[in-house]
Amino acid sequence: MGIVQKFIFAVLLAAIALVVTACGSSGENTADSASKWDQMKENGTIKVGTAGTLYPASYHDSESDQLTGFDVEVVREMAKRMGLEAEFVEMAFDGMLTSLNSGTIDIAANDISITEDRKEKFAFSIPYKHSFATAIVRKDDLSGIDTIEDVKGKKAAGEATTIYMDIARKYGAEEVIYDNATNEQYLRDVSSGRTDIIINDYYLQKLGIAAFPDLNITIHPDLKFETPDQGAGIIMKKDNNQLKEQIDQTLQEMLEDGTISELSKQFFGGDDVTKKPDLNY
């Protein structure tokens, strides 16, 4: 065989190897997804990342100190219907995404907004909560914010990778980053003037205000934000196809039979967050 023929033969072998490798990788991803679901069923548990500090989505009951909350109880019931026990691991939101990729947890549930950017890197369940964003400010002077333009230069509290901090950045706020802080810390810092504004979920803020009536805080009457999310759902690794299928099917059943609606009313003061809000304000 001449040099030219040998070169062509080598290129053909390399091309075939690439095709075989690509096909093998696709098959392995499918197999991995199936084996993970099988392993989960065999172990009887599903590891869930959640904050444990975000009232009323995921927090500790003041009397029993037991982990509870809307997202926590949705996942507990979902896992039960799937024949699994939910094992919760408490961590900050950024840690949840890292832990999903490393396999430390199987899913995360923590009022997590479904966005296009996140869908490029992770898989989401169908949404089971819908809302919009509002702003907590000081009650006596609205933190010096009359219009949306006044947010520029104000100190906005939040976690770095949330859609709410994205909104604050968009309007030129100065970021004050917290790592899995409690609702009380966030609210007290606005009240005391350490920070000026918290942009976050309306339902969470409504309950936060009610829980601390003595603080100098209120929801700004004129600031509302239509977030770029598609509801809130459970987040998991991108290739967990079988797990996603099981979760979606179970959540759909829970939405249809009213279970999630009842949990919503229990944790959100009678509000049904399973329904999309009217944003004609």
Average pLDDT in the chain: 87
- Beta strands 45-50 and 107-108, pairing class: parallel
Q: Please write the tens of the pLDDT for every residue from 127-166.
A: 999 988 999 999 999 999 999 999 999 999 998 888 899 9
- Beta strands 45-50 and 59-60, pairing class: unpaired
Give the start-end residues of each E strand in the chain.
45-50, 59-60, 67-68, 85-90, 107-108, 122-124, 133-138, 155-158, 174-177, 198-201, 217-225, 235-237
Q: Do domains 44-130+231-267 and 133-225 have the same CATH topology?
A: yes
| CATH value of 133-225 in 1.10.8.640, 3.90.78.10, 1.10.730.10, 3.40.190.10 | 3.40.190.10
Max intra-chain CA distance, the chain: 89
User: Using CB atoms within 10 A of its CB, is residue 182 exposed (0-12), middle (13-18) or buried (19+)?
Assistant: middle
Specify the range with the lowest mean pLDDT, choosing from 79-83, 179-183, 217-221, 272-276: 179-183
167: its two tokens:
């909104």
Helix (H, G, I), strand (E, B) or coil at 5: helix
pLDDT at 37: 86
Q: Please write the tens of the pLDDT for every residue from 14-54.
A: 443 433 344 444 444 555 566 778 889 999 999 999 999 99
Q: Please write the tens of the pLDDT for every residue from 66-123.
A: 999 999 999 999 999 999 999 999 999 889 999 999 999 999 999 998 988 899 999 9
Short-list 49, 52, 50, 63, CA closest to 182: 52
Q: Which amino acid is at 34?
A: A
Please check the confidence at residue 168 and state whether its pLDDT lies above 70.
yes
HEC-encoded secondary structure of 121-157: CEEECCCCECCCEEEEEECCCHHHCCCHHHHCCCEEE
pLDDT at 29: 53
Residue tagged 């929801």 (tokens): 219
User: Using CB atoms within 10 A of its CB, is residue 6 exposed (0-12), middle (13-18) or buried (19+)?
Assistant: exposed
Angle at 261 between CA 211 and CA 40, to 5 degrees: 100
Separation CA 48–CA 145 (nearest Å)? 39
Please check the confidence at residue 272 and state whether its pLDDT lies above 70.
yes
Separation CA 109–CA 236 (nearest Å)? 9
pLDDT at 34: 64
Fold of 44-130+231-267: D-Maltodextrin-Binding Protein; domain 2 (3.40.190)
- What is the b/e burial string over 147-174, where b = at least 16 CB atoms within 10 angstroms of the residue's CB? ebebbeebbbbbbeebbbbbbbeebebe
Q: What is the DSSP string of 83-101?
A: T-EEEEEE--HHHHHHHHH
* Cα Rg, the chain, nearest whole Å: 23
Q: Please write the tens of the pLDDT for every residue from 215-252.
A: 999 999 999 887 766 899 999 999 899 999 999 999 99
Map out the domains of the chain as residue ranges. 1-31, 44-130+231-267, 133-225
| Cut 0.85: pTM above it | no
Give the dihedral sign, CA 247/253/254/256.
positive
Question: CB neighbours (10 Å) of residue 66?
Answer: 9
Mean local confidence (pLDDT), 173-182: 91
